[in-house]
Chain A
Amino acid sequence: MRRFRTVALLALSAMTLPLMAQSEAGMMMELGAEKKLSKKVSVGLDAELRTRNNLKTIDRWSIGLGAEYKPIKNVKLAAGYLLLNDNFRESISYKTDGSYNNWRPSYWGIRHRLYASVTGSYKLTKNLQVSLRERWQYTYRPEKTVERWDFDNAWWEDKVRDSKGKNVLRSRLEVEYDKKHALLTPYASVELFNSWAIEKIRYTAGANINLSKQHTLNVYYRFQDMRNVDIDDFEPDMHYIGVGYKFKF
């Protein structure tokens, strides 16, 4: 009961975070299942739901399939596929005199993502471990025709959003306090998203709650610092409360 209260309080506190300028609060909820095929190989199925707009709007849901391979003790290779269904934010364009030009409302659209990563870890002390994960991801957005309001002509018109592919290199440095048989495994990480320029930085602090050998809960706070955002785009910094659950077969 106490754990539940803690999670609930963290979620509620997220609603007060958007008081900071140009930032919003959201939640990340994750469900995962993992099956070890051998000592070195495992496969997993993950689902995620995100919210934005101070928890009031669903931002994305996704499902993914991945596999991990540990060739040697401190190295982990991973690869997988994600199907993303995003609620793309609205887009408003303005004319040079400041008046409205076009408005494209928010809409739902599918994206496909492939990723591959390599993680190297090193134990600083008996319980303290540092790891570096380099993850390449390619995300493809298929072409989609959406409606756009033309203020000049006062009518809706079709707008074709062209298909688009994007490569991103994600670099995550994480420190974890992993004491054997302990209930909590606290961790903190910083992750850079690089696509020719740093697009965002994620700072995360949280803990894995090891309920049993099979059940793991993950609770975290994450601040997502948006960088190099186009002046016409509204992509605020995000304060996330994350809750995850993983079942290990």
Chain B
Amino acid sequence: MKKILYLMAMACMMACQNDDTDFSAYTSGAISTIRVISITYNGNSVTVTGDNKGYVSATGADVTVNAADNDSLLLVLSGTTNDGSLLVFRDRKYGIRLNGVSITNNDGPAINNQCGKALYLELADGTVNTLVDGAAYDETKSYQQKGALFSEGEIVFNGAGALSVTGNCKNAIASDDYIVINATPSITANSSTGHGFKVNDGIWINGGTLDINVTADAARGIKCDSVVVITGGDITIKTTGDCVYEEAEADYSSAACIKCDYPFTMTGGTLKMTSSGDGGKGLNCADVITIKGGTFSAITTGGNDDSKPKAVKGDKGIILSGGSFYAKVDKSWACDNGTDSEIASERVTVVGTPSEASYEKKEVKVVF
């Protein structure tokens, strides 16, 4: 019996190797299969290196990349221009590394990605990057332009650098797909004309620092036609705009720090929202709001002349089961879960036993 156990132990000791293919040369960076094109903005001109396929053309500092081949591509941007842009046409996913770049485009987006696949936008560690659009776009173009940083496909933010995006005509950052924020980037999105983030198919915030300021009437810090999911990060959103009467809707449309059409879910991170315009809301969700973790705060200080400035509005419910929740208003109700109850505690659904809970019409606090 001992011999059998000895044999088994020997077999286990022999079986200690990995049978994976050795790709260490690739994963360590010794072998690279990626095509790297560096674009350096120098005022009214650019310097391009690594473009041995002739993808890049430039008129002054307005750069167009037509990368039709089925290869791997990384565009590395650096330098400064006060009258330049980047416009990319491509069918495959690719990456842009912002390596200390400042682009201001007076007649359109600073970066316009016309690729419908994923754009991996890396903010190089330790760099500061700035994107600013003009007050009026050249609308004769055949492609869409929805913000200072616009992408037809999804945007996946990565890296640990800083990015400041200012929208002076439409939105600051816009995607006709979805947006994911990973790693620890520091992103500031300011807009005096539109939304901070305008995204169609959902936004997932997993880390980083996000600072959004919008000032236009009826503008949203994050305007999302789908879900909003927050698992990490440090997010601050501020709106100051008033509500606006929409003729088509025959109703008022109000500003909101976050407006989403599908569920809002938070499991981690910190979200701090303040809205000061008339009827301006904190979180306005057409579906259910679920908070399982993290620190959530929504404060509105606006009046209720034309619309109600609720701090948290979830048309299909507000469910709290973890983390910390705080909602406060100067006017109207702090929370609205679609029930129209006159009892403040019935306007949220608390799952579990919070360590602290107070329910007032204008102030609700629940801490787990």
CA separation between A55 and B138, bound complex, in Å?
67
Interface locus among B25-33, B44-52, B211-219: B25-33
By the criterion CB–CB under 8 Å, are A4 and B27 in contact? no
Which of A52, A58, A96, A97 is the one whose CB lies under 8 Å from B12?
A: A58
Interface size class of B (residues with CB under 8 A): 20 to 34
CA separation between A200 and B16, bound complex, in Å?
26
With A49-B8, A92-B21 as known contacts, state yes or no: A153 contacts B34, CB within 8 Å.
yes
CA separation between A58 and B4, bound complex, in Å?
18
CA separation between A29 and B3, bound complex, in Å?
13
Interface locus among A99-107, A115-123, A162-170: A99-107
Which of B11, B16, B29, B71 gathers most chain A CB within 10 Å? Answer: B11
CA separation between A211 and B142, bound complex, in Å?
85
Chain A residue, CB-CB nearest to B9: A29
Which of B1, B11, B16 is the one whose CB lies under 8 Å from A215?
A: B1
With A105-B20, A153-B95 as known contacts, state yes or no: A217 contacts B4, CB within 8 Å.
yes
Which of B1, B11, B15, B72 is the one whose CB lies under 8 Å from A151?
A: B72
Q: Within 8 Å of chain A (Cβ to Cβ): is B19?
A: yes
Q: Within 8 Å of chain A (Cβ to Cβ): is B88?
A: no
| A interface residues, how many (CB within 8 angstroms) | 36
Q: Within 8 Å of chain B (Cβ to Cβ): is A152?
A: yes
CA separation between A43 and B94, bound complex, in Å?
57
Chain B residue, CB-CB nearest to A8: B7
Q: Within 8 Å of chain A (Cβ to Cβ): is B89?
A: no
By the criterion CB–CB under 8 Å, are A49 and B33 in contact? no
By the criterion CB–CB under 8 Å, are A56 and B14 in contact? yes
Q: Within 8 Å of chain B (Cβ to Cβ): is A144?
A: no
With a CB–CB cut-off of 8 A, which chain B residues contact A103? 21, 23, 26
Q: Within 8 Å of chain A (Cβ to Cβ): is B70?
A: yes
CA separation between A185 and B7, bound complex, in Å?
22
By the criterion CB–CB under 8 Å, are B70 and A95 in contact? yes
CA separation between A215 and B8, bound complex, in Å?
17
Q: Within 8 Å of chain B (Cβ to Cβ): is A81?
A: no
Q: Within 8 Å of chain A (Cβ to Cβ): is B17?
A: yes
With A4-B3, A49-B8, A90-B21 as known contacts, state yes or no: A152 contacts B15, CB within 8 Å.
no
Smallest CB separation, A242 vs chain B (Å): 11
By the criterion CB–CB under 8 Å, are A89 and B19 in contact? yes
CA separation between A55 and B7, bound complex, in Å?
13
Q: Within 8 Å of chain A (Cβ to Cβ): is B120?
A: yes
By the criterion CB–CB under 8 Å, are B15 and A99 in contact? no
Q: Within 8 Å of chain A (Cβ to Cβ): is B355?
A: no
By the criterion CB–CB under 8 Å, are A27 and B20 in contact? no
CA separation between A148 and B11, bound complex, in Å?
30
With a CB–CB cut-off of 8 A, which chain B residues contact A208? none
By the criterion CB–CB under 8 Å, are B7 and A56 in contact? no
Contacts from A to B (Cβ < 8 Å)? 4, 7-8, 11, 27, 29, 49, 51-53, 55-58, 89-90, 92, 95-97, 99-100, 103, 105-106, 149, 151-156, 215, 217, 243, 245
Contacts from B to A (Cβ < 8 Å)? 1, 3-4, 7-8, 11-12, 14-21, 23, 26-27, 29, 32-34, 70-72, 74, 92-95, 120
The 7 sampled A-B contact pairs (Cβ below 8 Å) are A55-B14, A57-B17, A58-B15, A100-B33, A106-B18, A154-B34, A245-B1
Top 4 nearest A-B pairs (CB, nearest first) are A152-B72, A53-B19, A51-B15, A56-B17
